[in-house]
């Protein structure tokens, strides 16, 4: 009997967002402009938080880690896609595909868990303001970050190892611009029942548990805000979590949109186009949301740019 973990493929073909030759220069220019905007925008958020001592709080500690995760998240897919368009080669090696799958899931899941931790931080700040510094101490913040890394690393490793047990020999074209888990499983020659089971159960768990935590935190936050008598107090309480709520809505909204659009269209190419929203657009917009909606970040960015101007 042939061993199921053996594979006779050394590379895959990434078909990209579109196979239209005339669209390739447009796609290259579009993603080439979006990638540095995302990279620089998130990097500025990180630098602003590091340089401003007033932002050395749990909320901005997690925000800087979210920005770092966004930089890594978009860097797992876009540079390879740009290289493929530039060189007119759609090939990705088997090892490269598995590595891309692992890191894509790692940083995507990390975004998810960090948003949950940030929701908990806002819950403590609004619902238990007098005990905030005691509860959200540096040790707990470090443990929450470490737990997020461990859970995401284990989930990514599990899914990657499950793909390694599959055999691939034919139909090596992936109708996507990166090695997406579901597409890889569909290409497998061997039995994928266990892979499907693990994929839906583990991915559902990783998505539902953090979302439940976020919804619970915000239900308590909303209840606490309504108990505040003054309109000014309500506005101040809501403004502290407005940016995070916008990012959460964008993250889960685009993710749900991708799922619904791919399920309705039953078209892998439509799914690839929709995936651009949460793989590229969401990380790109996050810095703008925080810089426009958050007064502290705006002031820190102004201070950062003024220091750069003065030094030059």
Angle between helices 231-265 and 268-276 (to 10 degrees): 160
| Owner of token pair 């685009």 | 254
At 57, give phi and psi (nearest 5°).
-125, 165
Block residue for tokens 């220019």: 29
**Residue whose structure tokens are 């007033």:** 54
pLDDT tens-digit profile, the chain (312 residues) = 344 445 567 789 999 888 888 889 999 999 999 999 999 999 999 999 999 999 999 999 999 999 999 999 999 999 999 999 999 899 999 999 999 999 999 999 999 999 999 999 999 999 999 999 999 999 999 999 999 999 999 999 999 999 999 988 766 889 889 999 988 998 888 888 999 999 989 988 898 999 999 999 999 999 998 888 887 777 877 777 888 888 998 888 877 777 666 655 556 666 777 788 889 999 999 999 888 778 888 888 888 888 765 555
Backbone angles phi, psi at 128, to 5 degrees: -135, 60
Strands (E), 47-100: 91-93
pTM: 0.91
- CATH homologous superfamily, domain 11-298: Rhodopsin 7-helix transmembrane proteins (1.20.1070.10)
Backbone angles phi, psi at 192, to 5 degrees: -115, 15
What's the first-to-final CA gap in the chain, in angstroms? 70
Q: Under 8 Å CB-to-CB from 258, ≥6 apart: which residues? A: 271, 274, 275, 277, 278
- C-alpha Rg value of the chain to the nearest Å: 21
Element spanning 14, H or E: strand 11-14
Whole-number Å distance between alpha carbons of 75 and 255: 18
């Amino acid at each position: 009997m042939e061993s199921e973990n053996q594979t006779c493929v050394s590379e895959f073909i990434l078909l990209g967002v579109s196979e239209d030759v005339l669209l390739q220069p447009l796609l290259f220019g579009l993603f080439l402009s979006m990638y540095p905007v995302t990279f620089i925008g998130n990097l500025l958020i990180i630098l602003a938080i590091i340089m401003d001592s007033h932002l050395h709080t749990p909320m901005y500690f997690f925000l800087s880690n979210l920005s770092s995760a966004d930089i890594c998240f978009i860097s797992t897919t876009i540079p390879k896609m740009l290289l493929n368009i530039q060189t007119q080669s759609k090939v990705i090696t088997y090892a490269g595909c598995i590595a891309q799958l692992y890191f894509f899931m790692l940083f995507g899941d990390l975004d998810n868990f960090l948003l949950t931790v940030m929701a908990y931080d806002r819950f403590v700040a609004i619902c238990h303001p007098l005990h905030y510094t005691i509860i959200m101490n540096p040790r707990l913040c470090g443990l929450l970050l470490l737990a997020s890394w461990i859970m995401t690393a284990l989930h990514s490793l599990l899914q990657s190892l499950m793909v390694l047990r599959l055999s691939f020999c034919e139909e090596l074209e992936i109708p996507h611009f990166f090695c997406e888990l579901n597409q890889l499983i569909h290409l497998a020659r061997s039995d994928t029942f266990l892979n499907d089971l693990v994929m839906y159960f583990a991915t559902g768990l990783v998505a539902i548990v953090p979302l439940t935590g976020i919804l619970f935190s915000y239900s308590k936050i909303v209840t606490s805000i309504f108990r505040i008598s003054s309109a000014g107090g309500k506005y101040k309480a809501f403004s502290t979590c407005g940016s995070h709520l916008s990012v959460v809505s964008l993250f889960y909204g685009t993710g749900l949109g991708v799922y619904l659009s791919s399920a309705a269209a039953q078209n892998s190419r439509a799914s690839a186009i929709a995936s651009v929203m949460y793989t590229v657009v969401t990380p790109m917009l996050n810095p703008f949301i925080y810089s426009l909606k958050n007064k502290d970040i705006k002031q820190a960015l102004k201070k950062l740019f003024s220091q750069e101007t003065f030094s030059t």
